[in-house]
């Protein structure tokens, strides 16, 4: 398999990532709903400006905080993005998606195939579900560590449009995003949320790739369908659903940690993944961890279908190489 597995997985991943990018953008925006874009100011000290005021002592006036905006569904989020930012905004951060798929997915897909080949029983030619899951965990973790800088850039570029104009980062490309992050926040900012990225990638890869292989094999072995397009679509959609259910809570926390803006000398909104999870659940409830689930499954399903259907076709094209 060697390099061939990386090439096949990379081509399929880039095609799938670009074609489902608008759905991923909507998912990110929904996961950030309920998180304030600007830290609200609740109190301020005002010195009376009028000379005849009876007191010269500053007064503290409590200003009412604005109520959180109503939650909007995936269609509403998409419509609002188009209305406020234009159609092109639906592809905000697509350059980061290409880089992310090139680094992350190419690595995980190639390593998964290598580990599958290595761990397959030479006598029976079969691989147990447990070993498939283990291969997915290892491949996903390594791939995520490699691709984390592009992942951070992608989240920020996708989330930028929800910020007030004065606070937007306005990255022109993934390259500029990475350069500015290193310059303004240090090179470690490229791996912000990396533990979450790695955990999510391990869960996604193990559930997605292992379940696809297992479901595909079961369909063929039981004679439900032959090895063809129908089997590939059925197995891949089921795998996408499994991956979405398993990974969504980690994905919400990852998105929020990566998107937080930390100016020099200021305290970060979250002190890590656990702090973010606790604050999110306390302020918004446990189901906040499944924010964006509809667009997640709406994106994960088509992404997984496009990924595996494309992968099977690329394998056929490259079978003689």
- Cβ distance 190 to 108 under 8 Å? no
Q: Which residues make beta-bridge pairs with 43?
A: 62
Number of structural domains (the chain) is 1
CA-based torsion, 195, 201, 204, 209: positive or negative: negative
Is 64 within a domain? no
Angle of helix 2-19 relative to helix 293-317, nearest 10 degrees, comes to 140
The pLDDT assigned to 99 comes to: 92
Is 79 within a domain? yes
Domain extent at residue 228: 2-35+72-317
Q: Is the pLDDT of residue 7 over 90?
A: yes
Rounded CA gap, 166 and 186, in Å? Answer: 22
Average pLDDT over the chain, rounded to an integer: 85
Is 52 within a domain? no
Q: Is the pLDDT of residue 71 over 80?
A: no
Is 144 within a domain? yes
Q: What is the mean pLDDT of residues 169-175?
A: 89
Number of Cβ within a 10 Å radius of residue 215: 18
- Cβ distance 55 to 7 under 8 Å? no
Is 51 within a domain? no
- Cβ distance 201 to 108 under 8 Å? yes
Count of alpha carbons within 13 angstroms of residue 228, beta-carbon side = 5
- pLDDT tens, residue by residue, 26-50: 888 887 887 665 444 443 444 444 4
The pLDDT assigned to 321 comes to: 77
- pLDDT tens, residue by residue, 45-59: 444 444 444 444 444
Is 110 within a domain? yes
The pLDDT assigned to 70 comes to: 65
Is 59 within a domain? no
The pLDDT assigned to 295 comes to: 76
Q: What is the mean pLDDT of residues 119-141?
A: 92
Angle of helix 293-317 relative to helix 21-31, nearest 10 degrees, comes to 150
* Entry pTM: 0.73
Is 44 within a domain? no
CATH for 126: 1.50.40.10
The pLDDT assigned to 317 comes to: 92
């Amino acid at each position: 398999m060697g390099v061939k597995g990386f090439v096949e997985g990379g081509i399929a991943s880039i095609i799938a990532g670009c074609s489902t990018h608008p759905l991923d953008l909507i998912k990110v925006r929904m996961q950030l709903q309920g998180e304030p874009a600007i830290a609200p100011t609740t109190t301020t000290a005002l010195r009376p400006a009028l000379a005849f005021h009876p007191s010269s002592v500053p007064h503290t006036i409590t200003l009412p905080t604005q109520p959180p905006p109503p939650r909007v569904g995936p269609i509403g989020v998409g419509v609002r993005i188009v209305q406020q930012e234009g159609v092109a905004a639906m592809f905000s951060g697509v350059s980061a998606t290409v880089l992310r798929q090139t680094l992350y997915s190419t690595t995980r897909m190639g390593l998964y195939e290598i580990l599958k080949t290595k761990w397959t029983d030479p006598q029976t030619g079969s691989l147990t579900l447990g070993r498939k899951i283990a291969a997915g965990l290892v491949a996903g973790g390594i791939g995520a560590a490699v691709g984390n800088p592009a992942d951070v850039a992608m989240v920020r570029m996708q989330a930028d449009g929800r910020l007030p104009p004065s606070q937007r980062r306005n990255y022109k490309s993934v390259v500029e995003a990475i350069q500015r992050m290193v310059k303004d926040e240090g090179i470690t900012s490229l791996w912000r949320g990396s533990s979450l990225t790695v955990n999510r990638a391990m869960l996604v890869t193990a559930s997605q790739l292992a379940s696809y292989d297992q479901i595909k094999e079961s369909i063929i072995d039981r004679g439900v369908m032959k090895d063809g397009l129908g089997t590939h679509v059925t197995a891949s959609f089921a795998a996408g659903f499994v991956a979405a259910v398993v990974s969504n809570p980690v994905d919400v926390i990852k998105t929020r940690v990566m998107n937080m803006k930390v100016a020099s000398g200021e305290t970060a909104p979250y002190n890590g993944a656990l702090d973010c999870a606790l604050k999110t659940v306390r302020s918004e409830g446990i189901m906040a961890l499944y924010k964006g689930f509809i667009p997640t499954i709406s994106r994960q399903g088509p992404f997984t279908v496009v990924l595996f259907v494309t992968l099977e076709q690329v394998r056929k094209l490259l079978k003689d190489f």
